[in-house]
Chain A
Amino acid sequence: MTTAFNGIAAQPAPAPQKSRMSKARVLGLILLAIWTACALGIVYFLVSSWNPELVARYGPNYASGLWVTVKLVVISFIAGAILSVPVAMGRKSANSLARGLSYGYVYFFRGTPLLAQTFLIYYGLGSFRPQLDAIGLWWFFRDAWYCAILAFTLNTAAYQAEILRGAIASVPRGQWEAAAALGLSRWITIRKVIAPQAMLVALRPYVNELILLLKGSAIVAIITVFDLMGETRRAYARSFDFQTYIWAALIYLALVELLRIGTEKAEQRLTRHIRRA
């Protein structure tokens, strides 16, 4: 015991830190300098290769491409939301056939690439042209735009069904029981008690899914739909000017950031009654 106390002589206090430049600070400054250099490089590149002719020629195309992208995303997101309700109900259903079918649907569309699904619908269903012709649906499956909307709707419905299921499951059982005790009907329970709480939980996943869909929508350019990406590829193929891709990247980034910041604001406002001061 005594050796333990006497063995180690009293140590002087450590010298005060001289500089505030830790390793992390230095590394951070270096990385930030690299980012700044990249940003300046891109700005310089865009300014130096500024070409009014190019902008006049492809600017309107970009605007129409952006509009196509927005239309595609909004239509398929809303259609997918509608379709996701029966799928989510099927997942919770007592009927084992409905459960199996909806599980298979969700598993297929979440387990395969959106690109493969789009090809399967646009090119693959061409194998059944005589049959589709016979029932008068060929005009739908012949058109890349309709096929893209169908593929995206089916895909996002699978993801949204899972979001919906998770959000409803996150509402405690006591809420259902309390509503039943008040004698509320099932529809009123869902609309007045469950949905307001579930949607608060689901807001963030829904927006994430919307962002994923927006990013995924770039692949329709491959099946000849001229969305923002399609217009970009066309402009690059004609002008061989790399700034076409840079502009597309800036537009996509701005869209995604707008969505993200908007959600954060919306969430702050919607959850102000449950936040502790």
Chain B
Amino acid sequence: MERMLTFLSFGPDGWGDEIAAGVLITVCLALATLPFGLLLGFAISLAKLSGDRFLKLSADIFTTIFRGLPELLTLFLVYYGAQIALQQFLRLIGQTGGIEINAFVAGMAALGVVFAAYASEVFVSAFRAIPNGQYEGAAALGFNRRHTMRLVILPQLIRVALPGLSNLWLILLKDTSLVSVIGLADIIRQTGIAARVSKETFLFYALACLIYLVLAILSSFVFQRIERRVETPGMTR
């Protein structure tokens, strides 16, 4: 028992500090991906609802691809593909030499487009849940399109989309574990190193699972607070 506590301590004999650094990387990656994915997803949902055939088609192609590919494969495609593309580009402008893509950026891009593909569906169904009268009311008040969106539609949209988005956030948090494969020192990689060195594989992988659970519980607290914040008292749908 004492031996295990030593392994988990923060000192030079323990792995606590390394694993804490891994937690930080995981949380940073997820938080950095979130705004990128949300904005892209929102833009795609607007494209899907724009009423233009070609715009909708190109948005549908995006979601079909990134919801259909395994996340791990998307990550490899971005990581190796961007590397090869950049090398080709450098050769084209007459420069030679290897180039390394930052694993964090590759992870962010890959997880971000997957998140955006799913988020766009959440936004689309949230838009559909807003009655037409809201647009008509805003038009009657003389709001232009931007004001209608910002003052009338968005506040309601957030409320409707929040449960779906919180689900996607939890999925994103879990999917960050895949970046350990391209060498980013996240929770899985750090606990994996600790497991291999200390030979206490079960202890450390169980710890990794536990950390993800704690992160999920913490985020559901945050979402509860946001939900309470955006809901209108006495409002029913």
Contact = CB atoms under 8 A, between A and B. Distances in A.
A and B from one complex: yes
Interface of A: 22, 24-25, 27-29, 31-32, 34-35, 107-108, 111-117, 119-120, 123-128, 211, 214-219, 221-222, 229, 232-233, 236, 242, 245, 248-249, 252-253, 256-257
B152 interface: no
B178 interface: yes
Contacts of A221: 72
Nearest to B71: A215
Majority secondary structure, B binding face: helix
Contact of B68 (A111, A124, A242, A253): A253
Contact of A127 (B59, B76, B200): B200
A41 to B, nearest CB: 10
A108 to B, nearest CB: 7
Contacts of B64: 253, 257
Given A120-B209, A229-B72, A242-B84, 14 more contacts: A28-B52, A28-B54, A113-B188, A116-B205, A119-B208, A124-B201, A124-B205, A229-B73, A233-B76, A245-B73, A245-B81, A248-B73, A256-B68, A256-B69
A127 B188 contact: no
A123 B202 CA distance: 7
B224 to A, nearest CB: 16
Contacts of A252: 68-70, 73
A128 B206 CA distance: 13
Contact of A253 (B50, B69, B209): B69
A127 B196 CA distance: 11
30 contacts: A24-B50, A27-B47, A28-B52, A28-B53, A29-B54, A31-B58, A32-B54, A35-B58, A111-B170, A111-B212, A113-B174, A113-B175, A114-B174, A115-B188, A116-B205, A117-B209, A119-B208, A128-B202, A215-B69, A215-B70, A216-B70, A217-B70, A218-B70, A219-B72, A222-B181, A245-B73, A245-B76, A252-B69, A256-B67, A257-B68
B216 interface: yes
A36 B27 CA distance: 36
B55 interface: yes
Given A25-B54, A215-B70, A253-B65, A123 B188 contact: no
Interface residues of B, number: 50
A253 B77 CA distance: 14
B221 interface: no
A93 B158 CA distance: 35
Contact of B80 (A31, A32, A245): A245
B7 to A, nearest CB: 12
A108 B209 contact: yes
Interface string B169-211: 0100011011011000000100010010001111111101100
Contacts of A32: 54, 57-58
Contacts of A111: 170, 212-213, 216-217
A217 B70 CA distance: 8
A24 B70 contact: no
In the A-B complex, the 4 residue pairs with the smallest Cβ-Cβ separation, listed nearest first, are A28-B55, A28-B54, A218-B70, A31-B58
A170 B112 CA distance: 34
B56 interface: yes
B169 to A, nearest CB: 12
A229 B178 CA distance: 14
Contacts of A253: 64-65, 68-69
B22 to A, nearest CB: 12
Interface in B98-113: none
A113 B180 CA distance: 12
A249 B209 contact: no
B233 interface: no
B61 interface: yes
Contacts of A34: 58
Contact of B202 (A125, A256, A257): A125
